[in-house]
Amino acid sequence: TDSKKILAIETSCDETAAAIIENGTTILSNVVASQVESHKRFGGVVPEVASRHHVEQVTKIIEQALEEAQLKPADLDAIAVTEGPGLVGALLIGVHAAKAMAFAHGLPLIGVHHIAGHIYANQLVRPMNFPLMALVVSGGHTELIYMEEDGRYETIGMTRDDAVGEAYDKVARTLGLPYPGGPHIDRLAHEGEAVQTFPRSWLEKESLDFSFSGLKSHVLNVVHNQKQRGEEICVENIAASFQESVIDVLVTKTRRAVDTYQVKQLVVAGGVAANKGLRAALEKEFAEEIELSIPPLNLCTDNAAMIGAAAYDLLKKNQFADWSLNGRPGLEL
Ligand code: KG4
Ligand code: ZN
C-alpha cells in the first residue's frame, strides 16, 4: 500500500520518547517518559543524569510504542531519530537505538533535526500551508523560521543570548519556583497584574532577532532589591510583568516577520508554545488574518511524534542516513 509507517525516537534532552506515525500525519502511538522529577532537585537538566535515564528507558519505550500501535517491526517502513541539536550523550542513546532497530530489521534510517520536528508537530494537527512562518520557542531555541516549501528552512531571526524558555526557567528559579518554571510563571502571571513595566529588548530597528538576558537580569535585580529593602515580593505581579514583556516582544517581532514575508500560515512550536498568555496573544493578533496553527500542549513539548512527522518528508525524498549517523549537538537546520 501507499501507507508509510515510521517509528521515531527522540532523546535530545530530558524526555525519552518513541512514536509511530503514518504518512506524516496520523499518530498510531506516542509514548513519552519524562525525567523531570530526577532533574528537579538540581534546578535544571543534568546531562549525565539524562543519558543514564535514556539508556534505561529507550528499549522499553520503543516496545511500548509498537505495542500501543499493535504493530511489529516488520510492519514499519523506516526508523527516524533526532540527530541534533541537543545534549551529545543523550542524542547518542537515541541514535544508537535507531541504528540497532534499522540494522536488525533491514529498515532505512532517517536523521531528523529537533527543530524541524517541533515545526512539523503542526502537521499532526492540520496540513502545513506554504509559504509559512514558524515561531519556535523552547528551552533551547527562540527562532523565526521562514519555510517556502517542505524541508526548506530560512532562519530569519534568533536569540542573541538566552532562549525564551531558559529565561522563564531562570526567572522562576529566582522566584523560588520549581523546575521547569515556565508553566508556573504562566499560571501565576494570570493571578497577578503587570503593575511594573519591565524592559523590552527591541535591538536594531528592523531586527527580527531576540534578546532576553537583559529582561532576565532586570527581574533578578528587582527581586534582589526588594528583598534587601525588606519588602514583600509579590510573585504573581512579577510573573505578570515578566510574561507581558516576553509576549510583547514575541508578538511584535512575529508581526514584522509575517508582514515582511507575506505567508499563508503561522505555526508556533516548542515548549513555550504551551504558554496560555502567548497563545491568547497570538490568536488575538493573527487568527482573523492568516491561518494560525498551535499544536496541543503534549505536541508542543518534546515528543517523538513530531520527529516522525518531520521524517515523512525525508522518506518521500529518499533522504536516508547511512551507518555513520551520529549525535550532532550543534546541528544546524
Ligand atoms: O521544547 P521543550 O519541551 O524542550 C526544549 O527543546 O527546550 O521546551 C521546554 C521549555 C522549558 O524552558 C519550559 O519552562 C518551557 O518550555 N515551558 C513553558 C511553558 N510550558 C513549558 N514556558 C512558558 N509557559 C509555559 N506554559
Ligand atoms: Zn524541544
Q: How far is the CA of 153 from the centre of ligand 1 (A)?
A: 22
From the CB of 302, is ligand 1 less than 6 Å away?
yes
From the CB of 157, is ligand 1 less than 6 Å away?
no
Strand partners, 331: none
244/198 Cα distance (integer angstroms): 8
Q: Whose CA is nearest to atom 8 of ligand 1?
A: 271
pLDDT score recorded for residue 243: 98
Q: Kindly give, in sequence order, each residue whose CB lies less than 8 Å from that of residue 8, ignoring residues fewer than 6 positions away.
A: 18, 19, 20, 21, 79, 80, 81, 112, 304, 305, 307, 308, 311
From the CB of 11, is ligand 1 less than 6 Å away?
no
Q: Whose CA is nearest to atom 2 of ligand 1?
A: 271
165 marked ligand binding residue: no
Q: How many CB atoms lie within 10 A of CB 270?
A: 29
- The confidence band for 49, taking pLDDT boundaries of 50, 70 and 90, is confident
Spell out the CATH class of 5-120+300-316: alpha beta
Could you read off the pLDDT of 288-328 as tens digits, one per residue? 999 999 999 999 999 999 999 999 999 999 999 999 999 99
pLDDT higher than 90, residue 37: no
Q: How far is the CA of 67 from the centre of ligand 2 (A)?
A: 25
- The confidence band for 1, taking pLDDT boundaries of 50, 70 and 90, is low
pLDDT score recorded for residue 223: 95
pLDDT score recorded for residue 302: 94
Share of the chain above pLDDT 90, in %: 91
CATH of 128-294, one of 3.30.300.20, 3.30.9.10, 3.30.420.40, 3.40.50.80: 3.30.420.40
Could you read off the pLDDT of 189-243 as tens digits, one per residue? 999 999 999 999 999 989 999 999 999 999 999 999 999 999 999 999 999 999 9
pLDDT score recorded for residue 171: 97
For residue 302, which atom of ligand 1 is closest to its CA?
3
> Which segments of the chain belong to CATH 3.30.420.40?
5-120+300-316, 128-294
| β-strands 291-293, 265-269 pairing | parallel
293 marked ligand binding residue: no
pLDDT higher than 90, residue 14: no
- Which residue is associated with the grid cell 499544536? 295
Could you read off the pLDDT of 74-121 as tens digits, one per residue? 999 999 999 999 999 999 999 999 999 999 999 999 999 999 999 999
Q: Whose CA is nearest to atom 1 of ligand 1?
A: 271
| Mean pLDDT score of the chain | 95
The region, left, alpha or beta by phi > 0 then psi within -120 to 50, assigned to residue 151 is left
The answer to whether 21 and 5 are in contact (CB under 8 A) is yes
